[in-house]
Structure 1
Amino acid sequence: MTKLTVEETNLLSIYKTGSRQGLIVAMNAALPFMDGEMRDFAARTLAKVERMGEAEFAVLPIYAADEA
């Protein structure tokens, strides 16, 4: 199982769309607008999500940012 940090989970909560593929699309669209360190962090986090299967992603404790 892929381990995510609190920071990675917080980042994913911003882009959670209800599906793994939707999150990947949303984060990829945002990457060009991020500054250096943030872009690197987001790209590393995105790579973790891309390596996950649907079942693993489905059980992650990630909530849409407006639900918190």
Structure 2
Amino acid sequence: MIDKKLLSMLVCPVSKAPLIYDQEKDELVCVASGLAYPIRDAIPVMLESEAREISLEEKEYFASKKT
């Protein structure tokens, strides 16, 4: 679980857009850039080189969660 206050301060380093916490995969997802950043040992790894590209289905799912 990630602290809500921390989540509200973090943005995607690529797009500067807000992030969505995916509890199931323990990742921070950015719909704008299409990237998911891992959380390791309770620390978000906010490096583009460590992020994975999310699928179109994931992008649509998380875009619907933003509203």
TM-score range, shorter chain: under 0.3
- Structure 2-normalised TM-score? 0.27
- Structure 1-normalised TM-score? 0.27
Greater strand proportion:
2
Greater helix proportion:
1
Greater RCO, 1 or 2 (C-alpha within 8 Å, sep 6+): 1
